[in-house]
Structure 1
Amino acid sequence: MIKLLHVEDDADIREIAKMALEISGDFEVMQCVSGQDALDAAEAFAPDVMVLDMMMPGMTGKETLTRLREVAALKDVPAIFMTARAQHAELEELRAMGAADVISKPFDPMSLGDQIKAAMANPA
């Protein structure tokens, strides 16, 4: 079972992603509504992979990842960003930060699990 931490402020996207990932039977999903929520819960959950929304109020996905990387137990956990604004320059910046992949919104719920597993197996 792959332990996945999903950080997303949009309730509809959280619901769709959770359903899509759990139906495969490959993922145990913990969802957080904000970067701060993720910081509070991530270390205890000990995820195998983190999926972070880029645009969130309070703390962006990039800021959240930077803070999560300060936790020794999370510094090497693969991180995948989800964004509706997948510009080439931004993709390069996210990969330079250590993102394993960037998934564009809207995403395909049927292939989401496979995209995440592929990113874990072949980090960018």
Structure 2
Amino acid sequence: MLIIAALLLVLCGLLHSILGEVYLLRRLFKRDNLPQLFGSDQFTKGTLRFAWHITSLAWFGFAALLVLMPDAKILLLTVSIVSAGSAIFAVYYTRGQHLAWLVFAAISALTLTTAMGV
């Protein structure tokens, strides 16, 4: 079950970075009204891009931990709680239209089920 959860996290991270870059960030950065910090909008763009992609990096890290430490109950519970929170946020803030909530709910269920068996 953890391998499936890890693969879902990697897939989610890849799609998040690629689709977010193509369909959101690039379009956003074409605007001429971004806040100008430190004399230009480059800091703003760099910060937004960094914050966007670091989320994917965190998901890759979660995936690695699930594969490398499958018997650590507290780790599994933490991943389950964070994934459940991510699902709730996705449902709430997009009114269920962003389907990431399904993936995060599945990851939460898979890791919680495994944790209960440890």
TM-score range (shorter-chain normalised) is under 0.3
What TM-score, normalized to structure 1?
0.24
TM-score w.r.t. length of structure 2: 0.25
Higher helix residue share: 2
Greater relative contact order: 1 or 2 (C-alpha under 8 angstroms, separation 6 or more)?
2
